[in-house]
Amino acid sequence: MRSTQENPDVGNPRLESLTTWDSDWAGLRVVVAGIGVSGFAAADTLIELGARVVVVDGKDTEENRYKRQTLEIVGAADVTLGDGAMDALPDVEGQRPDLVVTSPGLRPSLGILAQAAREGIQIWGEVELAWRLRRREGRKTAEWVCVTGTNGKTTTVGMTESILQAAGLKAIAVGNVGTPILDALRDPVEYEVFAVELSSYQLHWSSSLEPLASVVLNIAEDHIDWHGSYENYQADKARIYENTKVACVYNASAPLTEKMVEDADVQEGCRAVSFTTDTPYLSQLGVVDGLLVDRAFVEERRSSAAELASIQDTGELPTRHTVENALAAAALARAAGVEAVAVRDGLRSYEPGAHRIQPVATTHGVLWVNDSKATNPHAADASLASFSPVIWIAGGLSKGVAYDELVEKHADRLKGVVLIGTDTDSLLRALDRHAPDVPVLRAAEGISAPVEDGRAVMAQAVRLGHELSEPGDTVLMAPAAASMDQFTTYAERGNAFIESVTELVESIQDHDPDEGDRSS
């Protein structure tokens, strides 16, 4: 790791001076691209600070029209919705903007952002804006512990929040997890620590962050269509380590994350701390005899370790993936000064969100598991590795990734595959190459509903999974693809699976009442 305490030069002298809530934001001309959760929060905050704000969004929906009305009431200069709204960069009150604040999902190639870049107008994400507003006269300034990775971000942030709260700290999970950081900054509660989930999109538009501690959980191909290449995706993920103050945490089983730490410009005294599901070495957190232990944040770490929790404290279905998430969360919390006992208490009180390796039912000896949040091969790898034999429900929008490595690795545990989704050619080719003897069924075949009707397709997939399964099997819905071809979100896809499994279980119970004793 290289040491630095300097922030990147943003180029515009006025923008460079905007580093606190109390800085002179009045009259700043800002275009906010996108009126979603983060875009609305950014526009609302900037208006409160006295900036001149124009908001644009390509979707003219009822929800967006309501948001437009709200912003116009509180003083937005203009809100434009609909086709073409983000094709070009608008003026603000007849002059070129000083700044563009973009919602994280908008691609750099989008007309409004590409034009801003050509004209030399600075582009921030809402995370960069929130970082610059974090200090406010008369209020506590929360430290940030930041999490990214291809998979496991939300779980790790939630675990971190729970551990910090168990230690008695005022902490909240924010960022990509759902609560905009700007909303937390304006909350009457004076938080001491933010557990910040950061996507690669958010990191792409951030440059000034100085986390207390940071982690890249893992790295695998994802969002290649947005970033343009795997190398660009890696580079944006690695930005999380820049300027870290206390600990850069990385995954010992993912060498690329260690390389990111080695290449990072960090603050003086920042340490490299890794986690492993094996016995830990010096400056590692790991596992010994079913216990999570710490050899990084203890004074006598050369000769001893602190017991943090047991593997059973990490969740209902402890997997290597969930144990790694728990270790990463523990490292971030320990970097913030949390005592060992709070790790155990926090993990025990943590309530995992739905749709990530979520047991749904057990009927006629078959376990049904919902992992709709497995939106890429790397996430599906974690859940496939946890069960055998598996009837795998998979497919959706592939986002430009390949499936050969995933299928080849798990071919021996696959008993059958049921395909959902409209973009399954790449997955099907991988199955043909690496698992030619595994039966592959298409859920869309044999139903009268169109293939875009996700709920009908999912109901058929569950029926087919039931027909393929025998006692001792797991039917795992881990699509390894995005959901937007047949569902609005991965949560809707997961709920469709849960509803279909529930209907199946009820149908089985109607025919065999004794099965009710074996369902969960």
CB atoms within 10 A of CB 291: 16
| Burial environment of residue 72 by CB neighbours within 10 A (0 to 12, 13 to 18, 19 or more) | middle
Cα distances (Å, whole numbers) of residue 66 to 40, 62, 70, 76, 359: 11, 6, 6, 13, 38
Q: How far apart are CA 453 and CA 461, in angstroms?
A: 12
Q: Before 513, cis peptide (omega within 30)?
A: no
User: Which residues participate in the annotated binding site?
Assistant: 149-155
Instruction: Provide the Cα torsion 220, 224, 230, 236; round to 10°.
Output: -90
CB atoms within 10 A of CB 168: 11
Query: Which residues lie closer than 8 Å to 464 by C-beta, 6 or more apart?
Result: 418, 441, 443
3-state helix, strand, coil in the chain (%, to 5): 40, 20, 40
Closest by CA to 182, choosing from 137, 237, 138, 125, is 125
- Write the single-letter amino acid at 47: I
- Write the single-letter amino acid at 62: E
| Burial environment of residue 248 by CB neighbours within 10 A (0 to 12, 13 to 18, 19 or more) | buried
Pairing type for strands 358-363 and 366-370 reads: antiparallel
User: Which residues participate in the annotated binding site for ATP?
Assistant: 149-155
